[in-house]
């Protein structure tokens, strides 16, 4: 420990000594040195570019002789950046010649891939170290104007995902590149466990701080508590408490802590203490990998945000075999006293991480982009969250004299997939007819949007029709898709981002019957509501009015609203559309029971229910039911629900409209019907509403 200067607190000391970070130009030189040493130098008669650079750029390879100690790299005034770049250029030239000759056999192809992945690791380390360096300046300098990120953050999903456990396989197989520490693939036994769908946020962390998290020894491992006291930890690294609240140093300078963002820069000790305070625990690395392989769509930000601490010590897998030769020192010799992190960070290069990837750091280190995803033993039943609402609707719906369920529960990942299949059926005309009509009216209606408009879509699903509007309104500022189905929403948002690079895409997972204002990043432009597909017909008349009224309030004065409705037509055409020959709609209907079995632990026999589609002229609606073929009892926990033979659950109504009923609906909700366009048979309608 260096001597304490007068007046320096332990915290100041901790903030001053950063033996782990290296200057940017060291990373630049080291990754080229790696190619030279591991690959080029292996060829007979090879002459190194500069003998002296070995000691400068050797990171930790004992077999390669003397080196500058890591903590001293910060003193690297020479070689200059120009000399480092000249060295890189020369190594690139030699590697190109090597590639042109063709890599030899044996280990060379692997070492080349290792060199590339090694360089990617240093691209992230470079950002970690730059941030640390900037954090030392009293000026809080921004290293970048915008955060360098691999992709957008995924929307939160809420709740927990439960797994039954059992005998599983983890680790990398023989295909594709993996570091030696990910191999061999092997079996592990997992007890039932749950993993949080989302990462722990700054808001969660502030609660921990406010509850005395850093002052109460009962949450901490002994080694962690010793660190808290020795280094004066009171918040994650880079946080500072100011009069206006917490701020944090980032690659874009010092900023207010965003409560909704995943927490970063916490050590294993802090992650573990936070988990204990939460009444949860950290996942083991095997649990994390199993969850990421089995159901990636059930989680937000598995990669692309922060590395997630696990409770697993970094140890060799059974049968571990280090890479031959000098590269044996790459991973294996660090397998003591470190903990594994899984996932990937916003700064991890695209394609670098994989489900079997094992990152590792010492438990006290905090300068990495590391955060937390909680785990728990067994299944987690939360008081709030989607599963609870589903359970409540199930109990209410099956307790009624005429059993019924809200159709929004159709849309788990499989339900959303089945719906997309429905839209391609010959009998299901609404999607095709509406898309064609939209292509006709979109250019004129988009002409009224004005600059920087924000398109807010309700029940956006695959966001396919959206493209027609986006193509007609190229100057939109932002697109806010809202959907209850996280998988459909996030996958659609990624596709739209890829195809409309200038557009801000801000997905919101949620129930459109509880509309929130668009995120602030959307800006102040005019709001354009977009509610296609006749999904409004799936709501009761009262709920439809309530939804349009709340949309008017949330979107504000001056807003427009494009509403798609299916129109009344012959019952034969309607019934065929909801009872197709291939049975896709029947599968969509029964999937509700499959979902209830999975998410609520119920014991429906989906095949013991008939799919029924009928036209109800009195209420001008198509109805879908699931009719019990025989008497049966279905259980939800301790509750039992009895079905008589032929008794059904009413699972969906699809109301069919005409211009008059749409006008009445719009007016009841405070909108004016500005235009109503009808397409050719089988006809659907599009309404343009003005606030």
Integer distance in angstroms from the first to the last C-alpha of the chain?
Answer: 68
* Part of the chain binding ligand AVI (CB under 6 A), chosen from 75-83, 434-442, 527-535, 590-598: 527-535
Residue in 538, 559, 591, 648 binding ligand AVI, rule: CB under 6 A: 538
Residue in 534, 559, 591, 648 binding ligand AVI, rule: CB under 6 A: 534
Nearest distance from C-beta of residue 444 to ligand SAH, angstroms: 20
Q: Rule CB under 6 A: is residue 511 a binding residue for ligand SAH?
A: yes
Q: Between residues 54 and 538, which has the closer beta carbon with respect to ligand AVI?
A: 538
Report the distance separating Cα 33 and Cα 58, nearest Å. Answer: 7
Strand partners, 376: 194
Q: Rule CB under 6 A: is residue 488 a binding residue for ligand SAH?
A: yes
Count the residues of the shown chain that bind ligand SAH, applying the rule CB under 6 A.
21
Residue in 452, 513, 610, 659 binding ligand SAH, rule: CB under 6 A: 513
Nearest distance from C-beta of residue 472 to ligand SAH, angstroms: 17
Q: Between residues 140 and 511, which has the closer beta carbon with respect to ligand SAH?
A: 511
Strand partners, 609: 628
Q: Rule CB under 6 A: is residue 566 a binding residue for ligand SAH?
A: no
Beta strand pairing call for 339-343 and 307-313: antiparallel
Residue in 213, 283, 344, 459 binding ligand SAH, rule: CB under 6 A: 459
Of 430, 683, 415, 620, the closest CA to residue 533 belongs to 430
Of 191, 192, 189, the closest CA to residue 167 belongs to 189
Tokens matching residue 325: 């030769």
> Residue written as tokens 């030392």?
136
Q: Between residues 355 and 685, which has the closer beta carbon with respect to ligand SAH?
A: 685
* Residue 603: half-sphere exposure toward Cβ, Cα within 13 Å: 11
* Part of the chain binding ligand AVI (CB under 6 A), chosen from 135-143, 171-179, 279-287, 528-536: 528-536
For residue 383, give every residue at least 6 positions away whose Cβ sits within 8 Å of its Cβ, in sequence order, or none. Answer: none
My answer on whether omega of the bond before 682 falls inside 30° of 0, hence cis, is yes
> Residue written as tokens 């000790």?
269
Nearest distance from C-beta of residue 450 to ligand SAH, angstroms: 24
Q: Rule CB under 6 A: is residue 652 a binding residue for ligand AVI?
A: yes
CB atoms under 10 Å from CB of 392, counted, come to 10
Report the distance separating Cα 609 and Cα 405, nearest Å. Answer: 15
Q: Rule CB under 6 A: is residue 585 a binding residue for ligand AVI?
A: yes
Q: Rule CB under 6 A: is residue 369 a binding residue for ligand AVI?
A: no
Nearest distance from C-beta of residue 422 to ligand SAH, angstroms: 9
> Sheet holding 339-343: strands in order across?
359-361, 339-343, 307-313, 370-371
- Residue 525's binding partner among ligand AVI, ligand SAH, none (Cβ under 5 to 8 angstroms by kind) is none
Q: Rule CB under 6 A: is residue 490 a binding residue for ligand AVI?
A: no
Alpha-carbon torsion (473, 470, 489, 605), positive or negative: positive
Q: Rule CB under 6 A: is residue 485 a binding residue for ligand SAH?
A: yes
What single-letter DSSP state applies at residue 129? H
Of 128, 600, 660, 573, the closest CA to residue 393 belongs to 600
Greatest CA separation for the chain:
91
Q: Rule CB under 6 A: is residue 532 a binding residue for ligand SAH?
A: yes
Q: Between residues 187 and 440, which has the closer beta carbon with respect to ligand SAH?
A: 440
For residue 602, give every residue at least 6 positions away whose Cβ sits within 8 Å of its Cβ, in sequence order, or none. Answer: 394, 593, 596, 634, 635, 636
- Residue 654's binding partner among ligand SAH, ligand AVI, none (Cβ under 5 to 8 angstroms by kind) is ligand AVI
User: DSSP H helical segments within 81-178, as ranges?
Assistant: 81-101, 108-135
Residue in 461, 481, 679, 682 binding ligand SAH, rule: CB under 6 A: 461
- Residue 652's binding partner among ligand SAH, ligand AVI, none (Cβ under 5 to 8 angstroms by kind) is ligand AVI
* Part of the chain binding ligand AVI (CB under 6 A), chosen from 110-118, 204-212, 531-539, 542-550: 531-539
Helix (H, G, I), strand (E, B) or coil at 458: strand
* Part of the chain binding ligand SAH (CB under 6 A), chosen from 275-283, 326-334, 484-492, 583-591: 484-492
Chain residue whose CB lies nearest ligand AVI: 654
Q: Rule CB under 6 A: is residue 59 a binding residue for ligand AVI?
A: no
Q: Give, as ranges, the residues between 419 and 478 that touch ligand AVI (CB under 6 A).
A: 422, 430
* Residue 290: half-sphere exposure toward Cβ, Cα within 13 Å: 25
- Residue 422's binding partner among ligand AVI, ligand SAH, none (Cβ under 5 to 8 angstroms by kind) is ligand AVI
* Contact by Cβ (8 Å): 345, 121: no
Cα angle 25, 30, 32 (rounded to 5 degrees) comes to: 105
Binding site for ligand AVI (CB under 6 A): 422, 430, 533-535, 537-538, 578, 585, 652, 654
Binding site for ligand SAH (CB under 6 A): 408, 411, 416, 419, 423, 431, 459-461, 465, 482-485, 488, 511-513, 532-533, 535
């Amino acid at each position: 420990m260096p001597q304490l200067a007068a007046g320096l607190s332990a915290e100041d000391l901790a903030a001053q000594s950063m033996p782990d970070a290296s200057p940017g130009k060291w990373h630049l030189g080291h990754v080229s040195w790696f190619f030279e040493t591991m690959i080029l130098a292996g060829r007979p008669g090879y002459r190194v570019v500069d003998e002296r650079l070995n000691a400068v750029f050797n990171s930790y390879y004992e077999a390669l002789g003397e080196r500058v100690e890591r903590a001293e790299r910060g003193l690297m005034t020479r070689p200059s950046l120009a000399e480092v770049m000249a060295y890189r250029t020369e190594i690139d030239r030699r590697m190109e010649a090597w590639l042109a000759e063709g890599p030899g056999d044996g280990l060379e192809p692997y070492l080349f891939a290792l060199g590339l992945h090694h360089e990617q690791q240093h691209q992230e380390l470079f950002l970690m170290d730059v941030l640390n360096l900037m954090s030392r300046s009293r000026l809080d300098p921004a290293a970048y104007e915008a955060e360098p990120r691999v992709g957008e953050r995924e929307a939160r999903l809420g709740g927990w995902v439960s797994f039954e456990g059992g005998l599983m396989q983890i680790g990398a197989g023989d295909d594709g590149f993996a570091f030696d520490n990910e191999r061999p693939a092997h079996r592990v036994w997992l007890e039932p466990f749950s993993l949080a769908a989302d990462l722990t946020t700054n808001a969660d962390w502030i609660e921990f701080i406010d509850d005395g998290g850093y002052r109460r020894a009962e949450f901490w491992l002994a080694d962690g508590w010793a660190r808290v006291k020795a280094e004066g930890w009171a918040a994650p690294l880079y946080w500072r408490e100011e009069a206006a609240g917490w701020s944090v140093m980032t690659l874009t300078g010092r900023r207010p802590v965003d409560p909704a963002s995943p927490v970063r820069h916490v050590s294993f000790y802090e992650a573990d203490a936070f988990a204990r305070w939460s009444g949860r625990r950290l996942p083991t690395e095997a649990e994390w990998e199993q969850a990421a392989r089995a159901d990636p769509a059930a989680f937000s930000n598995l990669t692309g945000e922060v590395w997630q601490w696990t409770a697993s010590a970094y140890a060799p897998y059974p049968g571990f075999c280090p890479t031959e030769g000098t590269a044996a020192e790459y991973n294996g010799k660090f397998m003591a006293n470190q903990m594994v992190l899984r996932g990937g960070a916003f700064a991890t290069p695209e394609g670098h991480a994989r489900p079997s990837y094992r990152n590792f750091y010492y438990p006290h280190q905090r300068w990495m982009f590391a955060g937390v995803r909680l785990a728990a033993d067994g299944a987690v039943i939360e008081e709030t969250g989607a599963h609870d609402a589903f359970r409540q609707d199930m109990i209410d719906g099956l307790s009624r004299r005429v059993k019924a369920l809200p159709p929004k529960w159709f849309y788990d990942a499989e339900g959303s997939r089945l719906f997309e299949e429905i839209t391609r059926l010959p009998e299901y005309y609404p999607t095709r007819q509406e898309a064609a009509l939209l292509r006709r009216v979109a250019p004129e209606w988009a002409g009224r949007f004005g600059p920087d408009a924000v398109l807010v879509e309700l029940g956006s699903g695959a966001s396919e029709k959206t493209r027609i509007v986006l193509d007609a309104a190229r100057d939109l500022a932002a697109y806010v898709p809202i959907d209850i189905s996280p998988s459909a929403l996030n996958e659609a948002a990624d596709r739209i981002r890829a195809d409309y690079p200038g557009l801000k895409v801000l997905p919101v997972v949620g129930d459109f019957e509880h509309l929130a204002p668009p995120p602030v990043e959307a800006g102040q432009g005019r709001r354009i509501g977009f509610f296609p597909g006749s999904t409004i017909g799936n709501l009761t008349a009262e709920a439809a009015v309530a939804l349009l009224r709340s949309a008017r309030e949330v979107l504000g004065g001056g807003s427009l609203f494009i509403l798609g409705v299916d129109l009344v037509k012959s019952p034969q055409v309607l019934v065929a559309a909801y009872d197709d020959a291939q049975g896709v709609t029947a599968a969509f209907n029964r999937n509700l029971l499959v979902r209830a079995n999975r998410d609520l632990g119920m014991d429906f026999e989906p095949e013991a229910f008939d799919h029924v589609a009928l036209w109800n002229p009195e209420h001008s609606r198509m109805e879908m039911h699931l009719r019990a073929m025989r008497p049966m009892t279905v259980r939800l926990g301790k509750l039992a629900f009895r079905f008589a033979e032929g008794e059904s659950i009413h699972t969906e109504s699809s109301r069919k409209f005409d211009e008059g009923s749409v006008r009445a609906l719009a007016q009841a909700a405070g909108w004016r019907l500005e235009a109503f366009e009808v397409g050719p048979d089988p006809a659907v309608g599009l309404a343009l509403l003005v606030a």
